[in-house]
Amino acid sequence: MKARIKFRKYGALRFIGHLDVMRFFQKVMRRADIPIAFTGGYSPHMIMSFASPLGIGLSSDGEYFDIELTEPIDSEDAVRRMNEACVEGIEVVSIRQIADEKKMTGMTILAGADYLINIKQGVLSDGWQERFHMFMEQPEIRIVKQTKRSEKKVDIRPMIWKWEIRGDRIFLQVASGSAQNLKPDLVMEAFVRFLDEKKDKTATVDRKAPRAEDFGYHRLEMYADMGVDGKRKLVTLESMGKEMRRAE
Amino acid sequence: MRKLALNDEILLNIEKPARYIGNEVNSVMKDKNQVDIRFCMCFPDVYEIGMSHLGIQILYDMFNRREDVWCERVYSPWQDLDQVMRDENIPLFALESQDPIRNFDFLGITIQFEMCYTNILQILDLSHIPLHAVDRTEADPIVIGGGPCAYNPEPLAEFFDIFYIGEGETVYDQLLDLYKEWKKSGQSRIQFLEQAAEIPGLYVPIFYDAAYNEDGTLKSFTPNNIHAPARVKKQVVTEVTEAPYPMSPVVPFIKATQDRVVLEIQRGCIRGCRFCQAGMIYRPTRERNVDKLKEYARTMLENTGHEEISLSSLSSSDYSELKELVLFLIDAFRDKGINISLPSLRIDAFSLDVMSKVQDVRKSSLTFAPEAGSQRMRDVINKGLTEDDILEGAGQAFEGGWTKVKLYFMLGLPTETEEDMKEIARLSDRVARRYYEIPKEQRHGKCQITASSSFFVPKPFTPFQWAPMYTADEYVRRAAVVKSEFQEQLNRKSLKYNWHDAETTVLEGVMARGDRRVGKVIEEAYRLGCLFDSWTESFHNERWMKAFENTGIDIAFYNLRERTEDELFPWDFIDIGVSRKFLRREWDRAMEGQITPNCRMHCSGCGAASFGGGVCYESKN
């Protein structure tokens, strides 16, 4: 049977990269004695797949990975055991049973994600909020996307589904996953370039390209798209699973 | 939440920021206001190397068991962070509390190899601790060194307050108790060091004077303080089974070189190879109880979540309960997805059988360490391995399905001739021939024999401590002799030959057998920018050569002469239990090509029996 684990990542643990988080959770599974299934062969490894890697420096309230269990467990008990095996900076939120079909893994069905972007003091000068409105009101936002082999121009505006200024922060809901994927730092890069092009002296950063540390990125949640006929209907990856109760 | 010493901007712009944030599973947090002593343990190399070291894990655990001590860790900041810390004047900090090391009571540095010496100076420098012990005040931590290189501490003497000679489990408690008392007393730093010098095994360099003869050799080495003993005796744990062992070692986030549970099955080695320092300084051989080890394995795997367990010792095959232990590990953990790694095993029917159970035969390679190509040379170094043993072992391995073999050799050994060098290639070829004796339809394609040679560096407290070394050019020439002989071999297409760098060999030689004066070169090299010298990409031989030139220290004096039988060595004031007389007898036997039986076959009276335990008393129990 399959189960989906949701966890948070914050504080010093932001500096642990994706591969190391995977290794960390493999060890958590052993320390917490979670009955996880292994692949066969000479070097068996745990059946574990992450919905979407989180870059170094980012914090998150909504990270996911799916595992295969060899026997049923109790969700509440398992969450407690896993958290006892974790350190400050990683907290397991839930473990829920999910459908067994392959096409339902977090990685496959991931469609969108919410981010909160923290504008650190002094990075943008006053009035940046209005400029961001102008930026988002453009009919299209073209950026150059680097791939391994080539560069291509893409319009990222359609990939930004929702946006909102929340005080010193920007909330973004963007396309995420295998079909379309937009990272929030690309949006901020485009915004800074927009300010530069406008030669806007009242609202510009003093550097040509903003660096990752200028903005704090926080992932809030990840979604699957359960809509039909091209109508988007986002549901959190967590809500697709159900709590497991130990049989009495 | 803990506040990190480095800000986000720095952490996001350096390689592997996880090296510097601490907070790993099983790392120990305490309230600094509730402890009397803050100890920072340092491995002067990058995090991934340092975190792989068992000794620090043992002491870290042992210190933190004490309520009055908080032991933390620090490793060398990599080049990128080193620059940032200098530019921004950020003091070096401990991983756990992220507090500056300068505010600690102790900075303990393990000294595992010679090429880390400039990194030691980096640690002191970045911590804003004066490099020289004489310049430190009551406000500075006590800088204490230990580990194998502390057996000739003289090149580093100026930089340390204390060296701990021997195994850490023995007198550290005494030292910490003493420190607590001293801290309350308001006495001077010197008064503390005087009392520390009275603890067996502790060497306080400022209390000794070295005088030299006209030819540069050591004339005398004498205490200048009544609290300092003339000889410092190595400390050993007699009953290793009773010694503390970390049941919850720290688990790094990033992949360390040694990313597994390590079970130390024994200390010391019965073999007595004449080039091997570990084989002498860790005498006598002492085994841990097998039932205890089984229990440790289970607990440590549970507490760490590691997916691999490895045995640690100088020669695992000599552990008397090896079979029982290995079969237990396979039985108990193999089907839980735990890898079992068995290094330093002699290749025989048993080891091949267990290895075929724990690894993929087709992918893995088998390792032999003949150390020398000819039987004559192997007798000189007392490597009790015959060509028959090697060919027999390799043959069995090939028949068991292995196709890859690694062979380790040394070049530049005492009495080595051109013939001895060439035999390295020829022996490798004979191993390959053994493979092609197997009928074609039964073997799996070609075999791959990889021979590697390092250049021999004579070490203190070995029978070869009198031996001369060679120049870098001569080492390269010897490697070339071997290389060209490889090209003459029948199976040359199945053979590969690598050799170690000659320039670092020369430096290792100077550090290994150097005296106090060598400290100047290390400091000058550091000033000229030498750091991470054991990393090929950051090793700058020309800076080292400049440092020798600037300080007037002569490499030839330390490396190229054969020392006379009665020469006083800088390390002679240390008593390792093994007598100088025994070492000299072994040197003489080496010159005659005579082998000496191992400790279990026949006691050679080396002197280690004075510790009252281990293999010396096995048959008498």
A200 pLDDT more than 90: no
Question: Could you give the percent of chain B with pLDDT greater than 70?
Answer: 100
Worst-scoring range by mean pLDDT, A43-52, A90-99, B260-269?
Answer: A43-52
- Tell whether the model's pLDDT for residue A204 goes beyond 50: no
The pLDDT assigned to B584 comes to: 98
CA distance A87 to chain B (A): 6
DSSP A88: T
Contact B366, B406 (CB under 8 A): yes
Per residue in B407-417, pLDDT (tens digit) is 999 999 999 99
SS3 B522: helix
Question: Which residue matches tokens 């005398």?
Answer: B220
B18 neighbourhood in chain A, CB within 8 Å = 15-17, 20
Across the interface, whether the CB atoms of A212 and B12 are under 8 A apart is answered: yes
Average pLDDT over residues B5-27: 95
In SS3 terms, B360-414 reads as CCCCCEEEEEEECCCHHHHHHCCCCCCHHHHHHHHHHHHHCCCCEEEEEEEECCC
Asked if B23 and A87 come within 8 Å (Cβ–Cβ), the reply is yes
| Spans of all domains in chain A | 2-108+236-243, 110-234
Query: Would the CB atoms of B253 and A12 count as touching at under 8 Å?
Result: no
pLDDT reading at B45 higher than 90? yes
Q: Can you tell me the distance from the alpha carbon of B319 to that of B314, in angstroms, rounded to the nearest whole number?
A: 10
Sorted by where each starts, the structural domains of chain B and their CATH numbers stand as 8-233 (3.40.50.280), 260-359+576-621 (3.30.750.210), 383-500 (3.90.190)
Residue B458 CB neighbours (<10 A) = 24
> Nearest CB to A27: which of B13, B251, B339?
B251
Q: C-alpha distances in angstroms, B345 versus A51, B132, B316, B350, B395?
A: 43, 43, 6, 10, 16
Through-space distance between the first and last CA atoms of chain B, rounded to whole angstroms:
55
CA distance B351 to chain A (A): 18
What three-state secondary structure class fits B5?
coil
Which of B10, B12, B356 best probes binding to A when mutated, by most A CB atoms within 10 angstroms?
A: B12
The residues, any chain, with a CB within 8 Å of residue B206's CB and separated by 6 or more, are B133, B134, B161, B193
Average pLDDT, chain A: 90
Contact: B21, A213; criterion CB under 8 Å: no
Q: How confident is the model at residue B621 (pLDDT cuts 50, 70, 90)?
A: very low
What pLDDT shows up at residue A246?
A: 76
Q: Residue A217: is its pLDDT beyond 90?
A: yes
**A36 near A68, Cβ under 8 Å?**
yes
| B12–A88 CB contact, under 8 Å | no
Chain B contact for A147 (CB, 8 A cutoff): no
Query: What is the rounded average pLDDT of the residues B94-114?
Result: 98
Residue A202 has pLDDT above 50, yes or no: no
* Distance (Å, whole) CA A177 – CA A188: 19
Contact: A16, B337; criterion CB under 8 Å: no
Chain B nearest-CA residue for A57: B12
Suggest the residue from B2, B7, B8, B358 to mutate for an interface test with chain A (most A CBs closer than 10 A).
B8
- Structure confidence by residue, pLDDT tens digits, B439-467: 999 888 999 999 999 999 999 999 999 99
CA distance B41 to chain A (A): 22
Best probe of the B interface among A20, A30, A86, by most B CBs < 10 A, is: A30
Residue B17 to chain A, least CA–CA distance (Å): 6
Q: Is A212 on the interface with B (CB under 8 A)?
A: yes
The reported pLDDT for the residue numbered B347 is: 82
Q: Which of A15, A24, A207, A215 to mutate to test the interface with B (most CBs of B within 10 A)?
A: A15
Contact A27 B306 (CB under 8 A): yes
Q: pLDDT confidence of A210, banded at 50, 70, 90?
A: low
pLDDT tens digits for range B62-103: 999 999 999 999 999 999 999 999 999 999 999 999 999 999
Mutation site for A-interface testing, chosen from B51, B307, B335 by largest number of A Cβ within 10 Å: B307
Contact B434, B491 (CB under 8 A): no
pLDDT tens per residue across span B67-76: 999 999 999 9
Q: What is the pLDDT of residue B524?
A: 98
Strand pairing category for B218-223 and A151-155: unpaired
User: Is some CB atom of chain A closer than 8 A to the CB atom of B4?
Assistant: yes
Tokens encoding B435: 């493979």
Chain centroid, CA A155 distance in Å: 21
Q: Is the dihedral of CA B199, B203, B207, B211 positive or negative?
A: positive
Q: Do B17 and A89 lie within an 8 Å CB cutoff?
A: no
**pLDDT attached to residue B344:** 75
Residue A114, H or E segment: strand A110-119
A35 touches chain B (CB under 8 A): no
Q: What is the DSSP string of B254-292?
A: S--SS-SEEEE-EES-SS--TT-SHHHHTPSPEEPPHHH
* Nearest CA-CA partner of B258 in B330, B310, B317: B310
| Structural tokens at position B521 | 């070169």
Q: Which chain B positions have a beta carbon within 8 Å of A26's beta carbon? A: 305, 307
From B359, which residue of chain A is nearest by alpha-carbon distance? A42
User: Which chain A residues touch B253 with a CB distance below 8 Å?
Assistant: 16, 20, 23-24
Q: Is B22 on the interface with A (CB under 8 A)?
A: yes
Mean pLDDT of chain B: 95
The CATH code for residues A2-108+236-243 is: 3.30.70.580
Beta-carbon contacts of B506 under 8 Å, excluding residues fewer than 6 positions away, are B469, B471, B472, B475, B555, B559
Using pLDDT thresholds of 50, 70 and 90, give the confidence band for residue A197: confident
* pLDDT over 90 at B430, yes or no: yes
Measured between CB atoms, which of A15, A46, A88 is closest to B1?
A88
